A = this chain, B = another copy of it.
Amino acid sequence: MFSEREMVASLVSRFPSYIGDDAALLTGADSLSWVITKDLLAEGVHFRTRYFSPKDLAHKALQVNLSDIAAMGGQARFILCGVSIPAGLEEYGRHFLESLAQQCRTQGIALVGGDMTRSCQDFFISVTALGVVLADQGKKRSTAEKGDFVCVAGKIGDAFLGLCALEGEIEGLCSFKDHFLKPWAHLAQGRWLAQYPGVTSMMDLSDGLWVDLDKLGQASQLGSCLNLDDIEYRDDFLEACQRLSIDPLEAFLTGGEDYSLLFTVKPEAWDDLQAGFLRNFALPLRRVGQMVPDLGVDFSGKRSPEVYKFKPFSHFGEGR
């Protein structure tokens, strides 16, 4: 199958000013810009009804879109939702939509439209989210600079462990399963980071650190280097990896669906940024590497040669 990357590259060449970030930035006449994004969730590819309750699926469909708004530094305002429902999943579909509407209300987001149709086989969800951002604060992927630190706000690899636990029907590991089933968009953190002067670029972590960092580098026409010896794992992360027979480094580099924020920052701003973030959100930031001149993601440290056997993240088995 031709890749999303190929297709995106082909579209970018036609509409260079919009495509290539988590969300499109539509600058208006006034000081506010719109950010708009669309994500698809296909049954059997992105979710299974076996372990996604309609409520959790509504949560995830909403949050993965809001995460794109967060990655641009935006404030979420509106969503539209389309669903195609196969025979037998009518009640599931109804609960999904009602739950989505309820969650939008709770979070001050207006559900302003959509579409509902039958489908032949697969349950299908398409959400479009719109947000606003101050025109000079919309963050892009293409603006990282050489020497910038590469940093992450939020978890790395946890959602992948949760997915493996769900797929393997492993008991326990609930916090990992929850992180896969019910990720939260880092909206407040995204706005805070976007307003911070030293932050040079941002995107969300959806396809795994390696793949996403490569995308950020490509957009900025730079590369990056990760020192693998610097990685510190939590104890529960290591225990989960052991139970699931997964290499922690593989989960860290290739696990997708965390919806954390990946960003770059000027080295001289790092100490202050880190302290300010901890003060505001009671969460530590993580520094994972540095932007370098040559394209691609490079690794240093003891395990660097062996990482090239790892395959990129896919939801269900493809390529694993």
Give the B-binding residues of A (Cβ under 8 A): 1-2, 4, 7-8, 10-11, 14-15, 17-19, 23-24, 26, 29-30, 34, 36-40, 42-46, 78, 80-85, 87, 90, 93-94, 97-98, 101, 104-105, 110-122, 124, 126, 128, 130, 318
Contacts of A1 in B (CB 8 A): 85, 87, 90, 118
* Identity of the chain B residue whose Cβ is nearest the Cβ of A94 in the assembled complex: B2
Contacts of A119 in B (CB 8 A): 42, 44-45, 122, 124
Instruction: Please measure, in the bound complex, the distance between the C-alpha atom of A308 and the C-alpha atom of B112, giving whole angstroms.
Output: 34
* Identity of the chain B residue whose Cβ is nearest the Cβ of A128 in the assembled complex: B128
Show 16 residue pairs from A and B whose CB-CB distance is below 8 angstroms, ordered by the A residue: A1-B87, A2-B90, A10-B98, A19-B113, A24-B80, A24-B112, A26-B130, A29-B30, A36-B80, A38-B80, A40-B84, A42-B84, A44-B120, A80-B128, A82-B126, A126-B126
Q: Do A11 and B85 touch (CB < 8 A)?
A: no
Q: Do A110 and B18 touch (CB < 8 A)?
A: yes
Q: Do B40 and A126 touch (CB < 8 A)?
A: yes
Contacts of A10 in B (CB 8 A): 97-98, 101
Q: Do A113 and B36 touch (CB < 8 A)?
A: yes
Nearest chain B CB to A42 CB, angstrom units:
4
